[in-house]
Amino acid sequence: MNHRNYLALAIPLTLSTVTTPLLGAVDTAVVGQLPNPAYIGGVAIGTVIFNTLYWLFGFLRIGTSGFAAQANGADDKLQGTLAFIRPLIIALVVGMGFIVFQKPIEYIALSLLHPAEDVAELASGYFGIRIWGVPFTLVNYVIMGWLIGMSRIKISVFIQVFMNLLNILLDVVFVFGFGWGVSGVAAATLLAEVIACVVGLWIIWSGTSYQFQRPSIKLMADGSSIKKMMAVNQDLFIRTICLLAVFNLFTYKSADFGTEILAANAVLLQIHYLMAYFFDGLSNASSILSGKAVGSKDRKLFQRNLELSFQWAFYSSVMLLMLYWIFKESVFSFFTSIPEVIRLGYIYGDWLLFFPLVSSFGIVLYGVFTGATETVPIRNSMLLSLIVFLIAMAAGVPYLENHGVWLAFILFSLGRSVFLILYVPKLNLLIRKE
């Protein structure tokens, strides 16, 4: 395993994952050309609600990827089949549950975030359309996780890029062509999610050479296997709750400072997502190699993967920092033409200069740990980082206002890296014992 092998995985996965925040970025940029900042706020609030719903069940992708990678490393076709079917059932049941309970979910979410009346009305319309795409998105998580775990990189990249480019195209047509505004953004996302799910399922069953086995009901319901899957998913679920607490509190405090600051922070968060998902591509590569190493009991591969993960986390963080520093003003102006939102973006945008360096190691190492299905350190490190965030918010926001919100967020991102790095020696010991 060398740098070229690692990058052969990381580059296509990074191109794939970066299209995910690009989708949100284009949503924001499209409504940012409309005259009222409430449009950006409505999309921001709606996005936070769906990020909450989807991130809660993000383990369907991450957990599936880890178990599929280990089955692939062990060349176990039956376990590979089960790694797809079990989370697929969970995705369908949970997705239908969200549709059934959509009204109380919307009421609770808007009550907690309490945006301005005009923003809340736009967010409600956005929610009412996108909620129908939840089952398809959760199934897409399983599809993408399984394909990545099975090293079907080209197929996973095609599906992801196809969905997001379709969404971008529909955004432009529905908003500027049909004049649907925020509802057009929501409709574009819904349609792209449905089409990508159908295409993904068709490709898995018809377009791959994988030899699916037909497991018995008894084997699918095997207690020890499900217990291990649920233990991993439980840790990742708690990790996601911590992330959601941070982003929801971030948006909640942003709304307290007015619609213009809410809009400016929403734009800056989209830029942050572009950086974070860039690292997530490296994380996916590290997860695949980690899972293969554990499945095949290859300790040398595991150690080499760990070394490459550290190195490329650093290299990529420096690259992103420099790119943002050079292009930050032009990038921010791309998202909106509203002068006050642009002015505020310039004021608070320098905080993002810190993000790549403080967050890269935590995000990339996340892939190493999930590939090995060692998720307790992920859970614990995120809980500690959340505590850091809450303390920083309580201490900084009363004096620094929106600067205090960003300071707390950067300290949280730093904590994700520091606390997870502290678990690396223990992870090495566990792998050596297996």
Cβ(386)–Cβ(413) under 8 Å?
Answer: no
Token pair recorded at residue 91: 């995705």
**Angstrom distance (rounded) from CA 236 to CA 339:** 40
Q: What pLDDT is stored for residue 291 in this prediction? A: 81
Q: What pLDDT is stored for residue 379 in this prediction? A: 93
Strands in 265-328 per DSSP E: none
Helix axes 299-335, 259-295, angle to 10 degrees: 160
Q: Which structural domain range is residue 336 located in?
A: 3-433
Distance between the two ends of the chain, CA-based, in angstroms?
21
Q: What pLDDT is stored for residue 403 in this prediction? A: 95
Cβ(283)–Cβ(367) under 8 Å?
Answer: yes
Q: Nearest to residue 378, comparing CAs of 301, 293, 319, 290?
A: 290
H-run or E-run covering 301: helix 299-335
**Angstrom distance (rounded) from CA 385 to CA 146:** 29
Total domain count, the chain: 1
- Write phi, then psi, for 178 (nearest 5 degrees): -95, -15
- Write phi, then psi, for 252 (nearest 5 degrees): -60, -50
Count Cα neighbours of 394 within 13 Å in the Cβ-side half-sphere: 6
Q: What pLDDT is stored for residue 219 in this prediction? A: 55
Residue given tokens 């930050």 in the structure block: 328
Mean per-residue pLDDT pooled into runs of 10, the chain (434 residues):
82 71 66 70 77 73 76 75 83 92 87 77 86 90 85 81 86 84 86 91 74 58 58 79 87 85 86 86 86 82 91 94 87 77 88 94 91 88 96 93 95 96 83 60
**Angstrom distance (rounded) from CA 157 to CA 348:** 34
Cα dihedral: 377, 152, 21, 65 (round 10): -20
**Angstrom distance (rounded) from CA 131 to CA 49:** 10
Cβ(381)–Cβ(238) under 8 Å?
Answer: no
Q: What pLDDT is stored for residue 116 in this prediction? A: 74
Q: What pLDDT is stored for residue 341 in this prediction? A: 84
CA 80 to chain CA mean position, Å: 24
Q: What pLDDT is stored for residue 141 in this prediction? A: 86
**Angstrom distance (rounded) from CA 428 to CA 372:** 11
Token pair recorded at residue 57: 């069940």
Q: What pLDDT is stored for residue 22 in this prediction? A: 61
What lies within 8 Å, CB to CB, of 376 at 6+ separation is 235
**Angstrom distance (rounded) from CA 40 to CA 118:** 11
H-run or E-run covering 249: helix 223-256
Helices and strands (H, E) in the chain, number of each type? 18, 0
Cβ(278)–Cβ(18) under 8 Å?
Answer: yes
Q: Nearest to residue 370, comparing CAs of 82, 61, 13?
A: 61
Q: What pLDDT is stored for residue 433 in this prediction? A: 56
Q: What pLDDT is stored for residue 207 in this prediction? A: 58
Q: What pLDDT is stored for residue 383 in this prediction? A: 96
With 0-12 / 13-18 / 19 or more C-beta atoms within 10 angstroms meaning exposed / middle / buried, residue 173 is middle
Q: What pLDDT is stored for residue 123 in this prediction? A: 83
